[in-house]
Chain A
Amino acid sequence: MFDELRDLYQEVVFDHNRNPRNFRVMEDASRKIDGFNPLCGDRITLYVKVNGNVIEDVSFQGSGCAISTASASLMTEIVRGHTEEETHEIFELFHRIVTGEDQRTDFGELGKLAVLAGVRAYPARVKCATLAWHSLEAALKEEAETVSTE
């Protein structure tokens, strides 16, 4: 019945929604930021531990839809171990993927990003997928205020 939605709701999305990775408070985070999507009320608190300029650990808490939860969960896995500069580049790439600017389906070692590519066919849901990523960008820029997708 929902076959047409399989690009958006892949098994990996369901999996990360049911069992989000790195879904925890980080006591020794070097940065913590609150993200908010006023359109739907999704909230995320993102914790980042930066060592030198390498992202040593990322975790999150909050409530959101399957797309936003899975996106946040996948993001914590994808960016760990990358430098801040690399992370910024991944963010840019991710943004191009979900807005449909980058139509590729194979992203090499960043393959997990492909899971979220399906969102590009659903403009109303792009903000769900980008909330965690915008929050991460802001955290790396050390913007103190609540991040909004609006």
Chain B
Amino acid sequence: MSATFDVARIRQDFPILGETIHGKPLVYLDNAASTQKPKAVLDTLRHVYEHDYANVHRGVHTLSQRATDLFEGAREKIRAFINARDIKEIIFVRGTTEAVNLVAQSYGRSSLQAGDEILITAMEHHSNIVPWQMLCQQTGAVLKVAPINLVGEIIMEEFEALLTERTKLVSVVHMSNALGTINPVKRIVELAHAKGVPVMLDGAQAIPHMPVDVQALDCDFYAFSGHKLCGPSGIGVLYGKEALLKAMPPWQGGGDMIRMVTFAKSEYNTLPYKFEAGTPAIAEAVGLGEAVDYLQTIGMDKIAAYEQLLLDYATQKALEIPALKIIGTANDKGAILGFTLHHIHPHDIGTMLDQLGIAVRAGHHCAMPVMDFFGVPATARASFSFYNTAEEVDVLIDGIKQIIEVFG
């Protein structure tokens, strides 16, 4: 599909892509749920545990120092990857969900009052809805939801109208996991900042598919998960602007996040450690650093361009199937193909495609309000990564045609 993009060679980096499922070659199209891991990441995890493992920020012994250097080295890699100003702005968390909860419980709880408003959109993942609902219950703040249109884009006039002097925080998904929509987040940040409102971006889906520059976006918080970025699960990142993070109270208390403890009071550690209570996911963080290196060797621009070709091809093929309806047809869209088949439930599609070796997600994708909006109980979702191929799209399309045939 692209002369400069050697997908065959890239596939060699992912051992799992050689698996067979029900006797068929694996066609892994569930990348929006989690991505597979390149050998470099797997080797790194093993190497850390075999040669460099101890707890971080604690011991004077050699291994502890080595582990700390690797762990902090990963933080610096991630800083550079998203172009944050300082490593103080890179908080290691378990994943996007924990990052949103951290901002809700630390920033939100300390700065929101009854009657204040939090503005999200109708295409959010449950992880960017429920933490705010919990915060609203705790503070008396009110959750406002900017509506979307039938192609799955935020209705910007409505968003602007909902952005008022009562709005104290905006939290928006950068790229929708159910629809693929890439939101105009730079514009959203500008609009919110014009009213003095900070913006959190849920980058879980966006960051594997495009270059992300938090300074260019000027967002106040940006959250993502390692496991969707070819890294290990159990590690993720919250980026926050230093001034905001500095003013925020700690969220969880424990070791590592303190400078001095007496029974009378404790003095908190500096950034980023103030928000990293307890032993972190050490090897996982180092693995995520390796994943970021790996992706940058390929190039996020090239990944974005290749995946766009793949999505265009899949979309064109899907449109040739009369019974198929694509859910999510935004102009600016990442490599996600959500669809329904007339009279055939996504769960049946998922089981049948699996029989052909094809892994897709079937369900509500943790975005039940999105399903309600489109009037479907669920969708089937093929989500692509840079290691997928046009041939795999053909296998998917052929599988869908077979399902339609057996259901009659």
In the bound complex, CA of A9 to CA of B368 (Å): 27
**Are the CB atoms of A4 and B355 closer together than 8 Å?**
yes
In the complex where A8-B351, A40-B362, A41-B368 touch, is A1 in contact with B402 (Cβ < 8 A)? yes
B351 cross-chain contacts in A, Cβ below 8 A: 5, 8, 122, 124-125
* Stretch in A61-69, A87-95, A96-104, A107-115 touching the partner: A61-69
Binary interface encoding of chain A residues 1-32 relative to chain B, with 1 for a CB under 8 A from any of its CBs, else 0 = 11011001100001000100000000000000
Residues of A within 8 A of B186 (CB): none
Determine whether B356 belongs to the interface, using a CB cutoff of 8 Å to chain A: yes
Are B363 and A41 in contact (CB-based, < 8 A)? Answer: yes
CA gap between A67 and B355 in the complex, in Å: 16
Interface hit among B71-79, B235-243, B283-291, B341-349:
B341-349
Are the C-beta atoms of A40 and B364 separated by less than 8 Å? yes
Contact B22 A4 (CB under 8 A): yes
Chain A positions within 8 Å of B194 at CB level: none
CA distance in complex: A11, B299 (Å) = 50
Say whether B347 contacts A1, CB under 8 Å. Answer: no
**Contact, CB under 8 Å: B352 / A2:** yes
**Partner pick for A5 among B352, B362, B371, CB 8 A cutoff:** B352
Which residues of chain B in 325-366 are interfacial with respect to chain A, using CB atoms and an 8 Å cutoff?
A: 344-348, 351-352, 355-356, 362-364
Determine how close the nearest CB of chain B comes to the CB of A26; give it in whole angstroms. Answer: 22
Q: Which of B22, B347, B368, B408 contacts A14 (CB 8 A)?
A: B408
Which of A39, A40, A42, A67 is the most central at the interface, judged by chain B CB atoms within 10 Å of its CB?
Answer: A40
Q: Is B406 part of the binding interface, using a Cβ–Cβ cutoff of 8 Å? A: yes
Verify if B378 is at the interface (C-beta below 8 Å from A): yes
B348 & A40 in contact (Cβ 8 Å cutoff) = no
- Counting residue pairs across A and B whose Cβ atoms lie within 8 Å, the total is 60
Least Cβ–Cβ distance between B126 and chain A, in angstroms: 10
Distance in angstroms between the alpha carbons of A4 and B406 in the assembled complex: 13
- Total interface residues on A, using CB and 8 Å? 24
Number of interface residues of B (CB under 8 A): 21
B377 CB-CB contact with A under 8 Å:
yes
Q: Which chain B residues lie closer than 8 Å to A125 at the CB level?
A: 347, 351
Residues of B within 8 A of A4 (CB): 22, 355
The B-contacting residues of A in range 28-84, CB under 8 angstroms, are: 39-43, 63-69
Q: Report the separation of the CA atoms of residues A63 and B406 in the bound assembly, to the nearest whole angstrom.
A: 20
Would you call B407 an interface residue if the criterion is a C-beta within 8 Å of the partner chain's C-beta atoms? yes
Find the A residue at minimum CB distance from B406.
Answer: A2
Known: A40-B347, A40-B364, A128-B347. A14 touches B355 (CB 8 A): no
How far does the Cβ of B73 sit from chain A's closest Cβ, in whole Å? 40
* Contact of B355 with A65 in the complex, beta carbons under 8 Å: no
Report chain A residues within 8 Å CB of B355: 1-2, 4-5
User: Shortest CB–CB separation between residue A73 and chain B, in angstroms?
Assistant: 14
Q: When the two chains form the complex, which single residue of A18, A39, A41 contacts B371, counting CB atoms closer than 8 Å?
A: A41
Task: Quote the shortest CB–CB distance from B134 to chain A (angstroms).
Answer: 18
In this complex, what residue of B is CB-closest to A62?
B377
A15 to B402, CA, bound (A): 18
Query: Which residue of chain A has the shortest Cβ distance to B347 in the bound complex?
Result: A65
Contacts of B378 in A (CB 8 A): 40-42
Given the interface pairs A41-B364, A67-B348, A125-B347, the reply to whether A1 lies near B356 with Cβ below 8 Å is: yes
Q: Which residues of B contact A124 (CB under 8 A)?
A: 351
Contact partner of A43 among B344, B377, B406, CB < 8 A? B377
Q: Is the CB of A9 within 8 A of B345?
A: no
Min CB gap B355→A, angstroms: 5
* Residue of chain B at shortest CB distance from A127: B347
Q: In the complex, what's the smallest C-beta–C-beta distance from A92 to chain B, in angstroms?
A: 25
Q: B363's contact among A1, A2, A9, A40, by CB below 8 Å, is which?
A: A40
> Which 7 residue pairs across A and B have the least CB separation, nearest first?
A65-B345, A65-B347, A41-B377, A41-B364, A41-B378, A40-B363, A66-B348
A residues sitting closer than 8 Å to B (CB atoms) are: 1-2, 4-5, 8-9, 14, 18, 39-43, 63-69, 122, 124-125, 128
Given contacts A67-B347, A128-B347, 20 further A-B pairs with CB under 8 A are A1-B355, A1-B406, A4-B355, A5-B355, A8-B351, A14-B408, A18-B408, A40-B346, A40-B362, A40-B377, A40-B378, A41-B363, A41-B368, A42-B377, A42-B378, A64-B347, A65-B348, A67-B348, A69-B345, A125-B351
20 A-B pairs with C-beta separation under 8 A = A1-B356, A2-B406, A4-B22, A5-B351, A5-B355, A9-B352, A9-B406, A14-B407, A14-B408, A40-B347, A40-B378, A41-B364, A42-B347, A42-B378, A63-B377, A64-B345, A65-B346, A67-B348, A68-B347, A124-B351
